[in-house]
Structure 1
Amino acid sequence: MSVPLYKKPFKLSNIFNGQDIDKQDVGASISQYIELIIFTRYGEHRFKPDFGCEIWDLDFELIISESMWEEKLRQSLLRSITHYEKRIYDVNIDVHIKEVNKFYPLRNVSEIKKKVEIVVSGKMQQTGENYVFTTSLFLSPLSA
């Protein structure tokens, strides 16, 4: 019998009304766990200080070489995902930085932000199916 995978955040109203908690499939569960790894800073988890990734340390670092920055983040994510997410294998990670320029005509202000696109691919242990997770994050907003 397989262990149920619960959808987060939990709807406590369901529990108080005697209903079951919403469940999700293994792919969605893996995606939520990878998001947790991305959004956790090293040392934030008291009992697993190496859980998380380096993006929070790299966020305010002056980016001299985008390719070196991308590779540092890619290696950090690869270490954490292969160590902590055992439900996927043959993990491949792509990280790309893009500059996004948004102009607000009413305020006559232009904002330049760095957008990091992360793609995690691999195969699911249970079924051997291909697995792909993508997300984008904005870093260090600049305005002029």
Structure 2
Amino acid sequence: MQPLYHFPVDFAALLQKQPLPRGTLKESVREYIFLLLLTQRGEWRFDPDFQCVLWEKDFEQTDNLNLWLDEVKADVKRSITQYETRLKIKMVDIQRDEIPELNEENKIRRIRNRLTIKVQGALAASGENFDENFLMFFGPITVV
């Protein structure tokens, strides 16, 4: 298989008629999933369903964090299954960590939520193993 162009495209290199960097199928799938995770509902005008529910859940209040994580995980899996057809998904998992940010005196200034989205599967064309983690910092998930 021929190497694929990286995403996002380096338009400065394109305008200067320089060769664009290329990558493997695995890198292309990873970049596409990351794009999907970063896209809000309606942001992609060619397909308004191309999105991930993460951004609708930002700053959401919940009384059940596990239910919140399950809803996000189900939507991430649905989105990847629907839009990244080059990957056969085996498992999607999401873990939440609280990462303290310290000030100069080593006192906690604020706590940030970090989601670790783990996607496991196999590339459809080659059967090559796909096991990637996507780290995303997130607004405070308030548990009431």
TM-score relative to the length of structure 2: 0.86
C-alpha displacement at 1:132, in angstroms?
Answer: 1.4
Q: Cα distance, 1:27 vs. partner? A: 0.4
**Deviation digits for residues 65-95 of structure 1, max 9, x if unmatched?**
2211111111111111000000011331000
Tell me what 2:46 maps to: 47
CA apart distance, 1:133: 1.7
Question: Following TM superposition, by how much is the alpha carbon of 1:28 offset from its aligned partner in structure 2, in angstroms?
Answer: 0.4
| 1:21-100 pair list within 5 angstroms | 21-100=20-99
Gaps of 5+ in 2: none
What's the counterpart of residue 115 of structure 2? Answer: 116
Q: Which moved more, 1:42-51 or 1:7-16?
A: 7-16
- TM-score normalised over the length of structure 1: 0.86
Distance 2:14 2:89 in 1: 38
User: Structure 1 unaligned runs (5+)?
Assistant: none
CA contact (8 A) 1:82 1:91 kept: no
Asked which structure has the greater RCO (Cα within 8 Å, sep 6+), the reply is: 2
Equivalent residue number for residue 101 of structure 2: 102
Offset of 1:16 from its aligned partner?
Answer: 4.6
64 and 12 in structure 1: CA distance in 2 versus 1, 3 angstrom threshold: same
Partner AA of 1:32 in structure 2: E
Read off the aligned partner of 1:140 and give its amino acid letter: G
Greater shift after overlay, 63-72 or 105-114? 105-114
- Residue identity (%): 29
Matched letter for residue 94 of structure 2: V
Q: Look up the SS of the partner of 1:21 in the other structure.
A: coil
Count the aligned residue pairs: 141
**Structure 1 residues 59 and 21: alpha-carbon distance in aligned structure 2, compared to 1, 3 A threshold:** same
Q: Give distance in 2, aligned partners of 1:17 and 1:103.
A: 43
Give deviations 1:81-135, integer Å, cap 9, x for gaps: 0000000113310001111222213495521111111001100011101101211
